Copies of this chain bind each other. A is one copy, B any other.
Amino acid sequence: MLRTHTCGELNINNTGQEVILSGWVQRSRDLGGMTFIDLRDRYGITQLAFNMETNSELCLRARKLGREYVIQVRGRVEERSSKNKKIPTGDIEIIVEEIIILNPSKTPPFTIEDNTDGGDELRMKYRYLDLRRNTVKQNMYLRHKLSILVRNYMNDLDFMEIETPYLIGSTPEGARDFVVPSRMNPNEFYALPQSPQTFKQLLMISGYDRYFQIVRCFRDEDLRADRQPEFTQIDCEMSFVEQEDILKTFEGLINHLFDKIKGINFGSFPRMPYADAMKYYGSDKPDTRFDMKFVELNDVAKGNGFSVFDNAELVVGICAKGCAEYTRKQLDELTEFVKRPQVGATGLVYIKYNTDGTLKSSVDKFFSEDKLREIVAKFNAEKGDLILIMAGKEEKTQIALCSLRLEMGERLNLRDPNKYSPLWVVDFPLLEWDEETDRFYAKHHPFTAPKPEDYPNLFTKTKDVRANAYDLVINGVEIGGGSIRIYDKNMQKDMFKVLGFSEEEAQKQFGFLLDAFEYGAPPHGGIAFGFDRLCSIFAGVETIRDFIAFPKNNNGRDTMINSPSKISQAQLDELNIQLIIKD
């Protein structure tokens, strides 16, 4: 037996017991007469004590143990003279009688501490050491706990977890697939799923009624800091439901998770149509932890001889409470901020509503004081507030002002990571036009149903057709999204048509689904949550990488195992493929 207890469980009630512990040497303190070692395992830290007087040989051995050595000790539990109230084992220590070195350790390339001295790259290469750090362990434990909570909640609601295949077929719609050459079917390829979308719909047609799965998904996209080529979804689908049933069910899930982890219950989540989200926040995922809504100014701002406004499709602004005291330098910073390529605006207009009631604006010479007061009134601004205004093409300006709003929220400490503000964004457009490829794309995916009242306009007012689609947004982050699905073969065919699929293409790619619709498909809909992202929200952290045990870097590489890598010529031959080597 390698241990009788873990390093997290002994306390004052164990005093006098003979125990065996195993773990890692976290640190050791040599106080002359006594040597103390903090022994660490997943469950905690226990102090080991060695007395130079009573057992000098053992004490000398203990002093030689390096950081991260794996040892086993036998000893007696004793009450400590100076207790550590910060840890559960802080009342006791082990008077060690025997040490066995189970495995020595080289000095780790970075410190195994919450605030490590290791850089990103080094920690990725030695991820197995990085995973030893408490912060990372807590992330992994949170993730585990959330997955158990999700599964039991869904199970209690009669959702069945059903595993769908990872080796499926490639489809041209959506993002780029990872593909897998088939040896048994030469020159053919499997694809890794971007989501189990069609399979979960087939399960509804099969009558499974309530399905969920915590499932890996794959997208071969150029990676950003918060994207991974493989990621995990909580994937859900329900039959005989309308949008309302789905929103209520998953408000329940999210409330349950926040209740169990944070002790928070939000009750019913607010809802906002997509059009309002764009109009008031310039984003389909508004951060509603703070207000600072957009105010449209076309009616008052135009026709005053200021050509920037006069020529703009949209003049729109926000009111930053209490920022009238901003200095020239601070205002210049904001202008620089909106001019950065990531935001892409050409300029920024301000109006200071000074505490003394006077106004000061960067466009004083074009606007009378009355006009300025009219604008300020539109914001319900108070003395001391700062109005920030942008102008240009409608959507571009909204998106740019959204960035500025978030920046001001940041500066005003309105984006508290410990505050949570969930929101359903609903009534998404069914389709969006892509200038580059000169065609419509599905905003959600090609299986999303149009709103029944908008369906007749599918081919005539295509851009205006709304979908029964919804996103769950928390703190400006999209946590999940879903829709009511098409379950009628002809409607699905219309959808493929509007997306520019020929009948043959539609049949070739999705014939099995169109066929399935002919055998009694029920009304159904669903939702999928980004599980990595959901974990990060609970921890108030931005990057999902911290919640993945073995993440890949921005080049899609796992630098620890050095993957991807070359494969042998024999493997290529068996797969009937050859490489195109470019210089």
| Chain A 64-75 per-residue mask, 1 if CB under 8 angstroms from chain B, else 0 | 000011101000
Q: Are A169's CB and B576's CB within 8 A?
A: no
**A229, chain B: closest CB distance, angstroms:** 6
* Interface residue ranges of A281-324 to B (CB < 8 Å): none
| Chain A 175-198 per-residue mask, 1 if CB under 8 angstroms from chain B, else 0 | 011111111111111111000001
**With A168-B563, A564-B169 as given contacts, are A128 and B519 in contact (CB-CB < 8 Å)?**
yes
**In the docked arrangement, what's the CA distance between A172 and B571, Å?**
10
Q: How many copies does the complex hold?
A: 2
B residues near A76, Cβ cutoff 8 Å: none
Q: Are A568's CB and B172's CB within 8 A?
A: yes
**In the docked arrangement, what's the CA distance between A30 and B186, Å?**
53
Whether A22 is near chain B, meaning CB under 8 Å from some CB there, is yes
Whether A550 is near chain B, meaning CB under 8 Å from some CB there, is yes
B residues near A181, Cβ cutoff 8 Å: 179, 181
B residues near A518, Cβ cutoff 8 Å: 105-106
Q: Are B577's CB and A580's CB within 8 A?
A: yes
**A433, chain B: closest CB distance, angstroms:** 23
| Interface magnitude class on chain A | 35 or more
**With A179-B571, A512-B560 as given contacts, are A162 and B549 in contact (CB-CB < 8 Å)?**
yes
Q: Are B183's CB and A220's CB within 8 A?
A: yes
Q: Are B523's CB and A102's CB within 8 A?
A: yes
Q: Are B106's CB and A163's CB within 8 A?
A: no
**In the docked arrangement, what's the CA distance between A205 and B3, Å?**
17
**With A70-B522, A141-B160, A167-B230 as given contacts, are A242 and B1 in contact (CB-CB < 8 Å)?**
yes
B residues near A522, Cβ cutoff 8 Å: 22, 24, 70, 102-103
Query: Which residue on chain B has the smallest CB distance to residue A25?
Result: B520
**With A106-B518, A202-B128 as given contacts, are A185 and B579 in contact (CB-CB < 8 Å)?**
no
Q: Are A163's CB and B556's CB within 8 A?
A: no
**A380, chain B: closest CB distance, angstroms:** 41
Whether A148 is near chain B, meaning CB under 8 Å from some CB there, is yes
Whether A521 is near chain B, meaning CB under 8 Å from some CB there, is yes
**In the docked arrangement, what's the CA distance between A167 and B128, Å?**
17
B residues near A552, Cβ cutoff 8 Å: 165, 167
Whether A539 is near chain B, meaning CB under 8 Å from some CB there, is no
Q: Which of A177, A518, A552, A561 has the most CB of B within 10 A?
A: A561
Query: Which residue on chain B has the smallest CB distance to residue A522?
Result: B70
**With A140-B160, A520-B70, A556-B182 as given contacts, are A167 and B229 in contact (CB-CB < 8 Å)?**
yes
Whether A104 is near chain B, meaning CB under 8 Å from some CB there, is yes
**In the docked arrangement, what's the CA distance between A36 and B16, Å?**
76
Q: Select one of B160, B487, B577 contacting A577, CB under 8 A.
A: B577
B residues near A571, Cβ cutoff 8 Å: 170, 176-177, 179
B residues near A40, Cβ cutoff 8 Å: 207
Whether A18 is near chain B, meaning CB under 8 Å from some CB there, is no
Whether A545 is near chain B, meaning CB under 8 Å from some CB there, is no
Whether A502 is near chain B, meaning CB under 8 Å from some CB there, is no
Q: Are A190's CB and B563's CB within 8 A?
A: yes
Q: Are B186's CB and A582's CB within 8 A?
A: yes
Q: Are A165's CB and B230's CB within 8 A?
A: yes
Q: Are B240's CB and A3's CB within 8 A?
A: yes
Whether A256 is near chain B, meaning CB under 8 Å from some CB there, is no
Query: Which residue on chain B has the smallest CB distance to residue A188?
Result: B564
A-B contact pairs, 27 of them (CB 8 A): A1-B242, A1-B245, A22-B240, A41-B209, A42-B207, A43-B209, A102-B522, A102-B523, A103-B488, A103-B517, A103-B522, A105-B520, A126-B519, A129-B206, A140-B162, A148-B155, A165-B552, A167-B556, A167-B564, A168-B561, A178-B180, A179-B575, A180-B192, A190-B564, A203-B549, A577-B578, A578-B580
